[in-house]
Amino acid sequence: EAGVAQSPRYKIIEKRQSVAFWCNPISGHATLYWYQQILGQGPKLLIQFQNNGVVDDSQLPKDRFSAERLKGVDSTLKIQPAKLEDSAVYLCASSLDSSGRTGELFFGEGSRLTVL
Amino acid sequence: GENVEQHPSTLSVQEGDSAVIKCTYSDSASNYFPWYKQELGKRPQLIIDIRSNVGEKKDQRIAVTLNKTAKHFSLHITETQPEDSAVYFCAAKGDSSYKLIFGSGTRLLVRP
């Protein structure tokens, strides 16, 4: 079974530039998550999709971050303009459970962003 | 909202000894508590989870205990091996909330 795919794996940009990350979840998984993991910290949920609808985006800095999940499958996370404090690993995860209440999260390898 | 605190932040044990990592949660409605292991540069992977209708769950050398009254849960690793060295994250999710909230992580080092 193919896992969660993410790209790019690494990205270096200057502050105020923009960046986009792509995620392809495991086939058939209804729920998709984007987490931000700053070095030395636990993953922090940015946004959670149930199929192509947003379940929670309370922690997403909406003035600079946006995310979409087209047709309930792939998802993109965009940052514009980037700030120094956005340097982190952006983890995409998916879960089979359609209710989003329980169930194992399968994580991708992550996209490491460095903002200079 | 839910808050999950995890201790200790670092833990060093001798190979063969036991390791215990503790977490507390704030939302009394939380009912799902997974533990993830993240090796250096790798993705987090689920190692064990427990639901609120049980107090303990064991899988070979790994066990998790849950105290709903005190709102805390713990990960126990027995007979530690060098390959257990990693960062471990606890997490909690409530029935009314779809959010899985992670603790800050514990870096475990098993000395050969």
Name the residue among A71, A113, A72, A106 with its Cα closest to residue A92: A106
Tell me what the pLDDT averaged over chain A comes to. Answer: 92
- State the pLDDT at residue A101: 58
Q: Tell if the CB–CB gap between B98 and A110 is shorter than 8 Å.
A: no
Name the residue among B71, B83, B6 with its Cα closest to residue B47: B83
Query: Structure tokens of A67?
Result: 């995310």
Distance of CA B30 to the CA centre of its chain: 15
pLDDT above 80: residue B95: no
Give the DSSP per-residue string, B56-95.
EEEETTEEEEEETTTTEEEEEE-S--GGG-EEEEEEEEES
pLDDT above 70: residue B97: no
Residue A43: CB partners within 8 Å, gap ≥ 6? A35, A36, A37, A91, B44, B89, B102
Q: What is the pLDDT of residues A6-22, one digit of tens each?
A: 999 999 999 999 999 99
- State the pLDDT at residue B105: 96
Q: Tell if the CB–CB gap between A44 and B102 is shorter than 8 Å.
A: yes
pLDDT above 90: residue B89: yes
- State the pLDDT at residue B66: 95
Nearest Cβ partner for A105 among B31, B100, B103: B100
Could you tell me if A30 and A50 are in contact, meaning their C-beta atoms sit under 8 angstroms apart? Answer: yes
pLDDT range class, residue B98, cuts 50, 70, 90: confident
Q: What is the pLDDT of residues B2-54, one digit of tens each?
A: 789 999 999 999 999 999 999 999 988 888 999 999 998 899 999 999 988 88
A-B contacts (CB, under 8 Å) = 54
